[in-house]
Structure 1
């Protein structure tokens, strides 16, 4: 399998999500869709957040220089072409499109792009991660950006493309705002109204200039058939299920997989995204009880991923128990280090490690939420196995927006439940950054990651990734639990939506 993510629809979904052929009639413009999200986003500034919910919403407002096509290859978005790269791999010259207008009517210039990237270096976790490799960003002329690195850094373009902790381009004056008070981008839809805990209303941007070419994943044509997109926070998963079954929403994100049969018989139809991603327990390596490597090893030994995944996803048709950071079939799949991953855990080993660590009964504080119901179920099972090994555990259940804020404070937690889609470039995984919550920093990590990121030969990079995965298992900055399929629901009237980890609604349209 050459693609990292394998997208498929439930058999009952009688919709076409492939790009429209030339022979098809152009869909009619018009209509409003309501999209049920897991909750209220903590921010609408995608530079400062790694939350998938923030990226899903704001990718309609803001754009990046590059993005990913349907095969997870990099393609230009606000850049006019792929960059020119120097022979030593340290200098990128990025040509800029000259037909782009911001939603305030101003043309996009190299000054705007330069100021945006400089803000990204300062306020975005992935920007700060990248800044360590950047000597200078400049605009040699009105139509290009030059990035000079201190060493070859292969993930650069992927980091410039991702929609969370995102290198979005905004007007130069707006880059002075932290936090953002205006939300002006170049995207196909613009922010009209944000009523917290009610809805985020986006309307068609009349001055939008789409990239050329056919629709191709997040790349290519971005057509604005819909008049309006409303993102509605629905934090209770059962309410999202009932809303999908009754047809209250046009698209419902992140449904519990055990609701599949109910959704299948309801008005909206299920969308199953196979091999979607992986849930994790992220460790606080900076402060508190989990900053002790032996304690993290004891946690690793105590946990039982088979029971955690069963509780979270029910039937094995919705998950696999696998310790590798990427699924079988991915070019990044490797079993390096995974001997420490025990499907049913090893309580005796965990107890031995606790004794070595001189554990004195300090509580392990686990942050979780119920907006993603599977996060909560994973936390409950983790609590039981940790207590069986001798830990004291405090389960701290919070609203998702509060959790994403509180996890940035190392004083407030020891572990938190998270998940991620399988990302096309491993360096995009949060734990690869020194500055993301968890704050994994070690000589072992830096040696493995630097070798991986500076290697330009694709085949050699695959081998070097095995060393990074091995370092993750040895230092235990996170615990990878398994692989899972994701479930969403969609109205039969809504077409043109490609199943994807961050659903997008340009190119989507309503039928009568």
Structure 2
């Protein structure tokens, strides 16, 4: 769940837009060394840090750092800092990685196994405020028997461990002995990636310069500027004004560029879902009949058409249709079925009042639905849920709030949330729906508890056999559909507008989190202009 400091950015009152000093919309003179050498992209989200240990770009494609492995255009794991995919022992508890020769950090210092060891030990250090620590709870030790070899020892076999090795590696010599939580490195880091940080102006832009000694080959362009523009409409206006080469936009705003000359709209498939988290401790949403009535009563197809402008598909669970672990059976659940929804409520004793709102034992069928006030897409989805719920006699009160305000109420009130990963179902679902994480902030805020789901989630991470993993996640998805702790609404397509004449754009299935890292520009070091 991204909570971005970019929402603190402000517009200049005199112009209504915040112009980038280094990115005039006027093209460089033909034949000049600057022509075509800089790409400017725009996103709503801004990271809080640029340190992978503190959760920046941990799934790869951060552009500044590399992990031992990375993902290609099909999200298949391929070697990065490791010369080949790390080797897993027969018992699944030892993983050995051999480093690529000749890799250097941006400051020219060589990458060694000691840097990899330091990176992972820093994540495990309880003094470091890393949200990744629970992701590596299976890791007991990381050692370097020689400068080119790293050995990971696991407490137990963990099927998707290699996918955790996308974590960007940081240089030990620059962070050893420091308070990593407050290190200057977090804003001006040194990595091994295709770009180095030139400057970062909070609320405005991040400027990245080409790393000409990049082990993967010299970038095809000299500079990348990432503009942070929180307001969707302003971002669209500036894209139309020619300030950006590519911009992330909500579906409706992106659709307006379909008929505009000089632009291409990229609709990228994702694992990024939106849904209503329903707290089980609430007197209304804690009732199974209410939750199931909402799950069958909402009109997902109308949301895809009306809210997403067609850029998405209905969602019935947290594992995306693009995943080999997706269970097709939840997709057969009814949607916009008011007859079934009202029958469920009738049977549970929720009777309609004079105003059409149901009640039971003096409790009105009403609850608040929170959403982040700055997110126009979630607002529209919240309003759609409100309208659909009213049709079956449930009163939903949508409320746009700051993230700080949401934090204080997340275990008590429903929330329009977003999550999702295309990589492995364990990555998000284990924390989001596991009983052991109940009530722990954004991990399992609704306090969902199910022994069946818990066992299935555990089996999914314990089993190396793909068939057994598929069976485990099918059980999990079916149990989740039966309990309905969330009302899943839609899977999004992430929509971007790109200027014509740019080559090398290669969309791949994206995760929920995408801004500087893991966006359409994951491979922008290979982009060129015609």
Quick check: TM above 0.5?
Answer: yes
Alignment partners' CA distance in 2, 1:100 and 1:206: 12
1:283 shift after superposition: 2.3
Is contact 2:86–2:97 with CA below 8 Å preserved after alignment? Answer: yes
1:191 has 2:197 as partner: yes
Query: CA separation of 1:431/1:415 partners in 2, compared to 1, >3 Å: closer, same or farther?
Result: farther
Deviation at 1:46, TM superposition (A): 4.6
**Alignment counterpart, residue 64 of structure 2, candidates 49, 61, 64:** 61
How far apart, CA to CA, are the structure 2 residues paired with 1:496 and 1:119? 36
Matched with 2:215 is 209
| 1:511–1:307 distance in 2 versus 1, CA, 3 Å | closer
> TM-score, normalising length from structure 2?
0.75
Compute the displacement of 1:199 (Å): 0.9
Residues 325-350 of structure 1: per-residue CA shift (max 9 Å, x gap): 45557532323455655344554235
* Contact kept? 1:281, 1:478, Cα under 8 Å: yes
CA displacement at 1:389 relative to structure 2: 5.0
Is residue 237–residue 256 contact of structure 1 (8 Å, CA) maintained in 2? no
Q: 1:411 Cα deviation (Å)?
A: 4.8
* Corresponding residue to 2:40 among 3, 14, 34: 34
Residue matched to 2:206: 200
Equivalence for 2:122: 119
Q: 1:410 to 1:91 in 2, by over 3 A?
A: farther
Residue 8 of structure 1 is matched in structure 2 by none
Q: How does 1:28-177 map to 2 (within 5 A)?
A: 31-49=37-55, 59-121=62-124, 123-131=129-137, 133-161=138-166, 167-172=167-172, 173-174=174-175, 176-177=179-180
Q: CA deviation at 1:511?
A: 2.8
1:466 to 469, 474, 479: 474
Q: Measured at CA, do residues 45 and 473 of structure 1 come closer, stay the same or move farther in structure 2, by a change above 3 Å?
A: farther
For 1:475 and 1:158, locate their aligned partners in 2 and report how far apart those are by CA, in whole Å.
30
Write the mapping of 1:250-329 to structure 2, written as runs, cut at 5 A.
250-257=245-252, 259-273=254-268, 275-281=269-275, 283=277, 292=286, 294=288, 296-297=291-292, 299-315=294-310, 318-323=311-316, 325-326=318-319
* Contact residue 311 and residue 381 of structure 1 kept, 8 A: no
Q: Name the CA distance, whole Å, in 1 between partners of 2:62 and 2:34.
A: 23
User: Offset at 1:59?
Assistant: 0.2
Between Structure 1 and Structure 2, how many residues are aligned? 458
Deviations 1:180-203 (A, max 9, x none): 531222211122211122111111
Tell me the secondary structure at the aligned position of residue 279 of structure 1.
strand
Once the two structures are superposed, residues 275-319 of structure 1 have per-residue CA deviations (whole angstroms, 9 ceiling, x without a partner) of 33443225265876688463655653553323333331234xx33
SS in 2 for 1:241: helix
Check if 1:445 corresponds to 2:449: no
Give 1:454 shift: 1.6
Structure 1 residue matching 2:257: 3-state secondary structure = helix
Once residues 361 and 211 of structure 2 are traced to their aligned partners in structure 1, the CA distance between those partners, rounded to angstroms, is: 58
2:3 is aligned to none
The SS at the match of 1:424 is coil
SS in 2 for 1:264: coil
Within the candidate set 447, 457, 462, 1:454 is matched to 462
Aligned-pair CA distance for 1:125: 3.9
- C-alpha contact (below 8 Å) 1:245/1:267 kept by paired residues: no
The SS at the match of 1:190 is strand
Structure 1 residue 240 corresponds to structure 2 residue 235? yes
Larger radius of gyration between Structure 1 and Structure 2 = 2
Between 276-285 and 407-416, report the one with greater CA deviation: 407-416
Instruction: Indicate how the Cα distance of structure 1 residues 482 and 284 shifts in structure 2: closer, same or farther if over 3 A, else same.
Output: closer
Instruction: List aligned pairs for 1:368-379, cutoff 5 A.
Output: 368-371=372-375, 373-379=376-382
**Residue 497 (str. 1) matches residue 496 (str. 2):** no
CA pair 69-508 structure 1, distance change in 2 beyond 3 A:
closer
Look up the match of 1:508.
Answer: 526
Give 1:139 deviation, angstroms: 2.5
- The answer to whether structure 1 residue 488 and structure 2 residue 501 are counterparts is no
Alignment CA distance shift 1:304-1:143 (3 Å): same
SS at 1:448 equivalent? helix
Q: Which residue of 1 aligns with 2:4?
A: none
Describe the shift of the 1:95–1:56 C-alpha distance in structure 2 as closer, same or farther (beyond 3 A).
Answer: closer
- Equivalent in the alignment of 1:21: none
Question: 1:266, 1:431 → 2: CA distance?
Answer: 45
The structure, 1 or 2, with the larger RCO (C-alpha pairs under 8 Å, 6+ apart) is 1
Aligned residue for 1:243, secondary structure, equals helix
- SS across alignment from 1:148: strand
CA contact (8 A) 2:198 2:207 kept: yes
Deviation at 1:95, TM superposition (A): 1.7
Alpha-carbon distance between aligned partners in 2 of 1:140 and 1:387, rounded to the nearest angstrom = 64
Partner Cα separation in structure 1 for residue 332 and residue 361 of structure 2: 21
Distance 1:226 1:377, change over 3 A: same
Q: 5+ residue gaps in structure 2? A: 1-32, 351-358, 511-518
Worse-matched range after superposition: 472-481 or 294-303: 294-303
- Cα 1:116–1:46, aligned 2, differ >3 Å: closer, same or farther? closer
Give yes or no for the alignment of 1:478 onto 2:478.
Answer: no
Moved more, 138-147 or 435-444: 435-444
